[in-house]
Amino acid sequence: MTGPQQDAPAILVVEDEPLIRMEAVDMIEEAGFRTFEAASAAQALKVLEQEAEIAVLFTDVDMPGGMNGLALAAEVRDRFPEMGIIIASGIVDLEGREMPPGCRFFPKPYPTSRITAALREVTGQG
């Protein structure tokens, strides 16, 4: 496959570091998914309001602004309860931080194969 098909599930990648976001988008598109991007939680919520076909939120934890990735995940779980949520972070110890029910967590650096397998499972593609 040379790129994502039009009917492939859509993933929203939320990462404030442009190079990391670009790598994540490339990885996800190479796995056959369509992608949308956001550099902040506020931007991500705007994209989610406009793009109903997004099936999975893939977010970092640490981001600038008033809302981090965990707060974003909680907001998304409340507003879009059917959406899959995958959280990735360099913060390996999230103890004391609440993750919404049903979220999956991967410490950075994450293996591509585990992320793409999780995306396929969450979207029913695998």
| pLDDT value of residue 80 | 95
Does residue 70 sit within a domain?
A: yes
Number of domain units in the chain: 1
| pLDDT value of residue 1 | 41
| pLDDT value of residue 4 | 62
Does residue 48 sit within a domain?
A: yes
| pLDDT value of residue 125 | 82
Does residue 3 sit within a domain?
A: no
Looking up residue 37, the CATH number of its domain turns out to be 3.40.50.2300
For 87, the domain range is 10-123
Does residue 97 sit within a domain?
A: yes
Give the residues of the chain that fall short of pLDDT 50: 1-2
Provide the CA 17 distance to its chain's centre, in angstroms: 14
| pLDDT value of residue 108 | 82
DSSP string, 12-41: EEE-SSHHHHHHHHHHHHHTT-EEEEESSH
Does residue 79 sit within a domain?
A: yes
Does residue 78 sit within a domain?
A: yes
Q: What is the pLDDT of residues 60-84, one digit of tens each?
A: 998 888 899 999 999 999 999 999 9
Q: Look at residue 45 and give its three-state secondary structure.
A: helix
